[in-house]
Structure 1
Amino acid sequence: MRTGKFSELTGLSKDTIYYYIDRGLIYPDKVNNRYSFNKKNLENVEIIKLYQDMDFSIDEIISIISLWNWSNNTEENIKNEHLNRLLKKEREIENDISKLVRKKELLIDEINRIDCKNEENFNNIEIGFPVKNIEVLSCPRCNNQFSINNASMNSKYIFNADLECSCGHKLKIKNGIVVTGNKYKSFYDKPDINRDLYLDMPSIYYKSLNIIGNEISKYLNSLELENKIIMETNINGFSFLYNNLKCFKNNFTIILIDKYEEVLLNYKNQLSKVLENPNIVFIADDSLEYPIKKEVVDVVISLFSGNEHQLYKKDNYFENIYKYIKNNGSIVGAYQSYEPNSKSIKNLKIKYPESSERLYLKNIFLDNLNKFFKQTKSVDLEKVNAYSNKHSFECHEKGDLMTHTIFKGIK
């Protein structure tokens, strides 16, 4: 029979058939320079499939078939050799089964650890706006303090309240979050409630992200943080503090700002499970004038916050942040960039028409860092492939590589 018919009967592709011929597993005749297969070849394929199902490798099957083909399979030593090979494979499979059983046990243990049934191990204590930090707030119009009315609270936290300034400006504390009423109204972004942005990125991107996280942690650990104020904005995408707060002593105040109240509420609920009585000020605000005092923040953490800002605002990121940092306060973080005039930047500007002209341009970003801060330092990490079918990463053009730059500066 010809190759096509043999392929049909055996279910093997032609490439596999030619591979088996090259390895000496089947021996078809050649008639007029074309292969002609016979019943013996069909039997050999069934043997190959049987032994593959028993987890024998191609090399092992070649040896077994060669042993058969060059004996009549009645010699005692040949039968013993064949039997020994089968017994050895049985022992290997038994060993594999034991390993798989152990792996399954470990999986079950990990599933049980993570499963929601174990949530009784969490604190599950509701957190709100820390009473001790009310003086951090300031009217963005006149810089005066707010009065507090209609508050529901305990000795530690304010959960709901009306905030009013003497100039007439009003805010609310709702579910422990300061809600300014300045909402993002376009459709170019949405709240990442399920934190999908962190999932399914290229492995080299995660490697770079881990290096950045380690550097920020080292910087924070080099400071005396007792009673200090640390702020992070634009955290709908990435947030260093949300992921790492449990690694630090809870002896400083955190200000977390984002345009989406839903994102902050999710962060607050999750942090309440792993932190005990934290001092966290959550502010939902899409403006560039936050309801906090000027020059009150000791450290700003910017894990791609500058990029997130540039996607939706045309204003200068540093000019917005600078006014809230104390003299000798600092900023530390990372920035993502492409080469100027790259296709990826062009794609970003199409997807995000509200974006800044400085979008994802490292040199301009660092020039502005140097303009607003002293003692600046920046280090480029290795360039990364940043394609993912979500958020801004779907604008990544094949062939373009993204640069991650770690930076810091002192005011």
Structure 2
Amino acid sequence: MLHVNLLFLPNQQKVLSILKLFAKLRKDSGKGGKPTHGEGMKIGQVAQRYSISRDNLYYYINYGLLVPPRMDKQYVFDDETLNDLERILELKELGFTLAEIHHILSLFRISDMEKTGFREELRVIYAKRRRGCQEEIAHLERISDVLSQKIEALSTVDTSEYRRTGLPLSMLGLIQCPHCKKSLAISNVTMDTEYIFEADMDCQCGYHADVCDGILLTPNRYEGNDDTPDVHRLMYKDLPAGMISLFQSAYNFMKQEIDGVNLSGKIVMESYINAWFFLYTHQGIFDSDGRYIIVDKYPETLAMYKALMERENYHLPILYIADSTLDLPLCPSCIDVNIDFFATNEHNFYRRSFFYEELTPLLKPGAWIIGTYFYFENGWRSMQKLLSQYPKCSDNNFSLQYFLKMANESGIDIDKKEICGPSIDSGNNIGFSFHQKGEKLYLLPYTAHCALPGRMG
């Protein structure tokens, strides 16, 4: 009971006090054995108590799962609403959809738990969900069995015999001194009827190269510290799905074009494979009657791929050359086909010259070229990062205008090209660590031919 002494108050104060008294009485009249709305919990308290976000609670309210009363324009979670929330969370744990949960809540709201019809309908709903769980379990068990088989297959060491390869005798005639263009004398040879595995190769002018485990090692060893041999293929890791899709688009273009070319008896070369290696990932599309030259500055990278390709055994005759330049110990104008997947870009990481300026002497007149050039559109920030990471890098790298201009000046006629992209995020991949998010990186798969006669360097 509220007691107010009104005798000594001015008239206006008396009126205000009476109004406040009635308001208080009306508020108190709602109190009884049951809790009132005012005694409920606010949405923030509920979120904290049940470890659920406020957004989720508002979503449940808007969806109709929760119907809390309102007090002073705010939702108040009374005991009934909290019971509904606990039931929602329990049903979610049982795997029911929100629509199914809504239906179950509606049954509780409009039915009597003791009525047979309600109990039967709820039993049917639970039984249906249990059957769904059993079917999911059976499906997951089948998946688990298949995964176990795949894991076992990957864990089993391949003990099958594979042929060790080396420098193919059939390609020995392609090798000559890069300085005086004479054949090299061979000594201290370990070989069989098909391959040379170990040898010394010398020219009268003093040029010397070695064959070690079937790899031709030239004197042009890489001695810089801007790069390392990627024998664990980290370049291929952490590529975002969008970037991989661009790679696949370029691959599809190149594969389609290669399918239309007869490579039997042709000399095919790919260089700078420490970055990306198209021939390795697509060995199955190449003719075993062709002859192949693989060049990189790292003997370790070549040895890693050589071992993999021996095991996969596509029977491709391959001459592996470890050389950090394009001043290779090969006959001039011997290359029929050149594969360039990022090689032009990789060349400009370490040299300011254009890739085909140095390669042209090795290309036959009319030699066919297939590749993919990478370029930025307004990639100023990315290029600044690249130049800071690779001080020897050409500032013309990743420039489509530069590529097309220099190809033309080098006697390389572009026959066909396609734009793939852009990618605005290369993720955490180390191969594109310089790519700044938001700047557009495109891939340009292309075919071309060498319009000028092979020139002597």
User: Shorter-chain TM-score category?
Assistant: over 0.9
- What are the Cα deviations for residues 235-270 of structure 1, in whole angstroms up to 9, with x where unaligned? 111111111123333111110000111110000000
> What's 2:121 paired with?
81
**Mapped pair 1:54 → 2:94:** yes
Cα separation, 1, equivalents of 2:250 and 2:405: 21
Q: Distance in 2 between matches of 1:197 and 1:261?
A: 17
Cα–Cα, structure 1 residues 222 and 28, in superposed 2: closer, same or farther, change >3 Å? closer
Listed as ranges, the gaps of 5+ residues in structure 1 are none
What's the counterpart of residue 137 of structure 2? 97
Is this contact kept in 2: 1:246–1:274, CA < 8 A? no
Secondary structure, counterpart of 1:323 in structure 2: helix
Are 2:417 and 2:445, in contact at CA under 8 Å, matched by a contact in 1? yes
What is the 5 A alignment of 1:143-154? 143-154=181-192
Query: In structure 2, how many angstroms separate the alpha carbons of the residues matched to 1:100 and 1:116?
Result: 22
Corresponding residue to 2:194 among 140, 147, 156: 156
Distance 2:262 2:41 in 1: 81
Among 99, 112, 124, the alignment partner of 1:72 is 112
With the length of structure 1 as denominator, give the TM-score of the two structures: 0.93
- Separation (CA, whole Å) in 2 of partners of 1:23 and 1:116: 49
Query: 2:165 — aligned with what?
Result: 127
From the superposition, tell whether residues 81 and 331 of structure 1 become closer, same or farther in structure 2 (CA, over 3 Å): same
Q: 2:353 aligns with which of 300, 303, 315?
A: 315
Q: Name which of 391, 394, 397 aligns with 2:430.
A: 391
> Does structure 2 conserve the Cα–Cα contact (< 8 Å) formed by 1:10 and 1:42?
no
Work out the CA distance in 2 between the residues paired with 1:378 and 1:276. 29
Equivalent-residue separation in structure 1 for 2:41 and 2:90 (angstroms): 23
Give 1:288's aligned residue. 326
Does residue 260 (structure 1) correspond to residue 335 (structure 2)? The answer is no
Please give the alpha-carbon distance, in whole angstroms, between the structure 2 residues aligned to 1:40 and 1:370: 79
Matched, 1:10 2:42: no
In 2: Cα distance, 1:198 partner to 1:341 partner: 22
**Cα distance change, pair 251–62 in 1 and its aligned pair in 2 (3 A):** same
Q: Of residues 335, 338, 346 in structure 1, which corresponds to 2:384? A: 346
Distance 1:161 1:317 in 2: 30
Letter in 1 for 2:41: R
- Kindly indicate whether residue 449 of structure 2 is the aligned counterpart of residue 406 of structure 1: no
1:380 CA displacement: 3.1
1:200 aligns with 2:238: yes
Structure 1 pair 374/312, CA: closer, same or farther in 2 (3 Å)? closer
Which of residues 43, 58, 76 in structure 2 aligns to 1:36?
A: 76
Q: What amino acid sits opposite 1:271 in the alignment?
A: M
CA distance in structure 2 between the partners assigned to 1:7 and 1:410 by the alignment:
67
Aligned to 2:27: none
List alignment gaps of at least 5 residues for structure 2. 1-39, 451-457
Q: Name which of structure 1's ranges 123-132 and 235-244 shifts more when overlaid on structure 2.
A: 123-132
Take 2:430 and 2:95, find their aligned partners in 1: how far apart are those partners? 44
Please identify, of 265-274 and 279-288, the stretch whose mean Cα deviation from structure 2 is larger: 279-288
1:326 offset after TM fit, Å?
1.1
8 Å Cα contact 1:149-1:161 kept in structure 2 = yes
1:165-244 aligned at under 5 Å gives the runs: 165-244=203-282
Partner of residue 365 from structure 1, selected from 378, 398, 403: 403
Contact persistence 2:296–2:322 (CA under 8 A): yes
Change (3 A) 1:164 1:247: same
Q: State the SS of the aligned residue for 1:257.
A: strand
- CA gap of 1:409–1:9, structure 2 versus 1, over 3 A, is closer
Mean Cα displacement is larger for which, 377-386 or 43-52? 377-386
Which amino acid in 1 is paired with 2:341? L
Q: Kindly indicate whether the alpha-carbon contact (under 8 Å) linking 2:239 and 2:429 is maintained by their aligned counterparts in 1.
A: no
TM-score scaled to structure 2, two decimals?
Answer: 0.84
SS of the equivalent of 1:402 reads strand
1:340 to partner: Cα distance:
5.1
In 1, Cα distance between the equivalents of 2:103 and 2:283?
Answer: 59
Segment of structure 1 superposing worse, 349-358 or 55-64: 349-358
Q: Which residue of 1 aligns with 2:9?
A: none
Q: Deviations over 1:266-310 (max 9, x none)?
A: 000000011254310111111231111111111011011001101
Q: Which amino acid aligns with 1:95?
A: E
Cα shift at 1:110: 2.5
Aligned residues: 409
Q: Once structures 1 and 2 are overlaid, which stretch shifts more, 323-332 or 260-269?
A: 323-332
Instruction: Report the Cα distance in structure 1 between the residues aligned to 2:83 and 2:227, rounded to whole angstroms.
Output: 62
Do the aligned residues in 1 keep the contact of 2:337 with 2:368 (CA within 8 Å)?
A: yes
Match of 2:179 in 1: 141
Rg comparison, structure with higher value: 2
Moved more, 30-39 or 391-400: 30-39
- 3-state SS, counterpart of residue 421 of structure 2: coil
Q: Cα deviations across residues 117-172 of structure 1 (Å, max 9, x unaligned)? A: 15235x53211111221111111221111111111111111111111111111111
How far apart in 2 are the matches of 1:402 and 1:137? 39
Contact 1:208 1:381 survives alignment (8 Å): no
What secondary structure sits across from 2:158 in the alignment? helix
Runs of 4+ off more than 6 Å = none
SS in 2 for 1:271: helix
When the two chains are superposed, the root-mean-square deviation of aligned CA atoms in Å is: 2.0
Q: How big is the shift at 1:365?
A: 0.8
Whether 1:274 aligns to 2:312 is: yes
